Amino acid sequence: MSPNILEAGFLARIEGLLDALETRGKNSTEFFALCSELQTCMEMVSGDKASPKQVVDVSSELKTRLERIISRIEILEIYSTKQTDITSNLQKYIVDADK
């Protein structure tokens, strides 16, 4: 049985992974491992398709917490894209410098 994304324990796990990802100084292997774990967590809950007519009564506190999680994931996505671009440009520069 997959976890319920609205359970406090599951949200705490997601937030813990985000905390670890936001800590600078990680090498690419550590960052990738944490991203993979976060992706696995998200895939576990994405398999549960709720009926569009199903209504969930969510407290404003929980809604705010979910919005913060989404925002943090978006920021990490931007960060990782920039880091990838920097690495790609450095590799291109190194190859071009050898010519």
Considering only the C-alpha atoms of the chain, give the largest distance between any 2 of them, rounded to a whole number of Å. 63
Domain membership flag for residue 18: yes
pTM: 0.70
Residue 95 pLDDT exceeds 90: no
| Nearest CA among 90, 84, 4, 98 for reference residue 46 | 4
Domain membership flag for residue 1: no
Distances in Å between the alpha carbon of 78 and those of 15, 45, 74, 82? 18, 23, 6, 6
Domain membership flag for residue 2: no
Domain membership flag for residue 90: yes
Give the total number of structural domains in the chain. Answer: 1
pLDDT digits (tens, 9 = 90+) for 23-77: 988 888 898 899 999 999 888 877 655 545 445 667 888 889 989 999 999 999 8
Calpha distance 32→35 (Å, rounded): 5
